[in-house]
Amino acid sequence: MKIATLVSGLLIAAAFASPAAAAQDGGPEARPIYNRDQWLPPSVPTSDDVLRIPVPADFNAPKGSFVLVGGRLFDGTGKPARPATIVVEGKSITAVLGPDDKNWPADAVVYDVAGKTVMPGLIDLHTHLTFLDPAESHLYSTAHLSGAESAMRGVRRMGIHLQSGVTSVRDLASHGDAPFVLKRAQAVGQIPGPRIFTAGQLITQTGGHAALHAMVPGYPEKPNDNPNSMVRVASGPDEWREAVRIQFAKGADLIKLASEYSQEEITAAVDEAHSLGLPVTVDSETQYIDMAIKAGVDSIEHPLPRSDAAVALMAKRGIASIPTLVPYRIVSRSSGGYFGSTSRRFELNERTILEMGKKLRRAGVKMGIGLDLVINWPEYMPGAYINELESFTQIGYTKSEALVAATKTSAEILRMGDRLGTIEPGKLADIIVVDGNPDEDFGALRKVKTAFVNGRLMLQDGRLYEPAHIEVPMPQAK
């Protein structure tokens, strides 16, 4: 009788378990990410994005070489800064030499960076390049539907990011095909700006987080008929799978999901994305984080509430966090709080976001830098990026560790750690030159003087750089 009573009591306790016990580790429901590289020997070149499509050996590589001499190198690996010379040939770093070593190509362009710090380009893991600016609100219905206007907004914001030292961005929902157009144009050097890794449209349910951005005049009941929407609304596991396939078909580097959703919906979406080789990040909170972890997502955005058990599972499974502390600080200081959102039904202020950041840090969750600067907030750059770095020191990082999170770790979260994030031979030449020592004073990032992306000079003397047009001779009369 006593054993039966004990068992009965345990069953009742389990039925009313606390939120802290809600996230149990039964293993991911979705399949792991399909590893495309396993079918390709290392000798086969592939595209410099998550898709890893076979390309010719010299694909998208600029001609010539250059060296950066006389500066101090913060290489992003965690090592202390040191004097060094960096050699770049085409799009790749080929050597990191001692300060007195002159073993570089005779025809290399030499940049004297004495007194400056050379470091990997910064990464912003949470952008919305085409988000509508409040100044355009009177044109909302037309601007929201115009791919051309969306792309123009993106070009401007790309320039702001580059001038702030950011050489890669992860775009987590932009309008229509604009992010894919911008990605392709930047990749071949047509426009200056950071590399773009894009999710295409955010996927959510009817009434879910950000679904209102799909509801524009002319499309009140059929939001997915809007060709320029930044959000795709899906209902049921099959529609969530189809929504993932649509982003993949456009050329997405990852998939972005947002609560609310059912367990079946998010599991289906993650499973479909992973089958295509794409990582998944999610904007979710409370019980929806438990569902995301159960499904097997790869990263979780924002400093929103979750149980201690969920944090422990994130650390155990290697699920990354992009805490995006800055936007919540901006909201709190501008509006007094985060109001009017059905996906933010909890206390959210400057204290709670830092406490969540500390909890994630203590648990050993991998954390990267993302800013989520919407509307006109990119105007706060580079101060917003500096503020996020300072926030990382408030949650337990050293200055050097915060910069590693902004470079090496963020590249790993992008699934690009083999090509980006550090200055080492074999890595792509995404390099910034800073007038000062940002590993000692983040404020030095207000003085980014030079930036190379993929070995191409794109920022010179703090200004966007575009090479002069080279005339092509007209056909001769026969």
List, as one string, the DSSP characters of 221-264. Answer: S-GGG-TT-SEEE--SHHHHHHHHHHHHHHT-SSEEEES---HH
Q: How far apart are CA 343 and CA 285, in angstroms?
A: 8
Q: How far apart are CA 99 and CA 80, in angstroms?
A: 15
CB 175, CB 147: distance < 8 Å: yes
Q: pTM here?
A: 0.92
CATH 3.40.50.720 fits domain 122-417: no
Count of beta carbons in the 10 Å neighbourhood of residue 445: 26
Q: How far apart are CA 367 and CA 361, in angstroms?
A: 8
**The pairing of beta strand 82-89 with beta strand 65-73:** antiparallel
**The pairing of beta strand 202-204 with beta strand 231-233:** parallel
CB 85, CB 130: distance < 8 Å: no
User: Which residue is listed with tokens 């750059």?
Assistant: 381
Task: List C-alpha distances in Å: 365 to 34, 297, 340, 389, 421.
Answer: 23, 14, 30, 17, 19
**Range(s) for CATH 2.30.40.10 in the chain?**
60-121+421-441+448-467
For 247-285, b where at least 16 C-beta lie within 10 A, e where not — what string?
Answer: bbeebbbbbbbbbbbebebbbbbbbbbbbbbbbbbbbbb
User: Which residue is listed with tokens 């040939």?
Assistant: 89
Q: How far apart are CA 198 and CA 186, in angstroms?
A: 13
**Range(s) for CATH 3.20.20.140 in the chain?**
122-417
List, as one string, the DSSP characters of 274-290. Answer: HHTT--EEEE--HHHHH
Instruction: Tell me the pLDDT of the chain (478 aa) as tens digits.
Output: 444 444 344 333 333 344 444 455 678 999 999 987 788 888 899 999 999 999 998 889 999 999 999 999 999 999 999 999 999 999 999 999 999 999 999 999 999 999 999 999 999 999 999 998 877 655 555 556 688 989 999 999 999 999 999 999 999 999 999 999 999 999 999 999 999 999 999 999 988 887 777 766 555 567 787 888 899 999 999 999 999 999 999 999 999 999 999 999 999 999 999 999 999 999 999 999 999 999 999 999 999 999 999 999 999 999 999 999 999 999 989 887 777 677 777 778 899 999 999 999 999 999 999 999 999 999 999 999 999 999 999 999 999 999 999 999 999 999 999 999 999 999 999 999 999 999 999 999 999 999 999 999 999 999 999 999 999 999 999 8
SS3 426: coil
CB 459, CB 473: distance < 8 Å: no
* CATH class of the structural domain 60-121+421-441+448-467: mainly beta
What is the per-residue pLDDT across 390-409, written as a single tens digit (0 to 9) for each? Answer: 999 999 999 999 999 999 99
Which candidate, 447, 441, 451, places its Cα nearest to that of 402? 441
Q: How far apart are CA 311 and CA 313, in angstroms?
A: 5
Which candidate, 156, 200, 211, places its Cα nearest to that of 178? 200
Q: How far apart are CA 345 and CA 243, in angstroms?
A: 27
Return the structure tokens found at 60.
Answer: 């998208």
Phi, psi of 302 (to 5 degrees): 80, 160
Q: How far apart are CA 101 and CA 116, in angstroms?
A: 18
Distance of CA 65 to the CA centre of its chain: 29
Q: Name the residue type at position 388.
A: E
CB 421, CB 412: distance < 8 Å: yes
Q: What is the predicted pLDDT for the residue at 15?
A: 36
Helix extents (H) in 16-88: none
Which letter does DSSP use for residue 303 in this model?
Answer: S
* Total residue count of the chain as it appears in this document: 478
Triad 182, 445, 336: Cα angle to 5°: 80
Q: What is the predicted pLDDT for the residue at 330?
A: 95
Return the structure tokens found at 221.
Answer: 């009941």
Cα Rg of the chain (Å, integer): 23
Q: What is the predicted pLDDT for the residue at 138?
A: 54
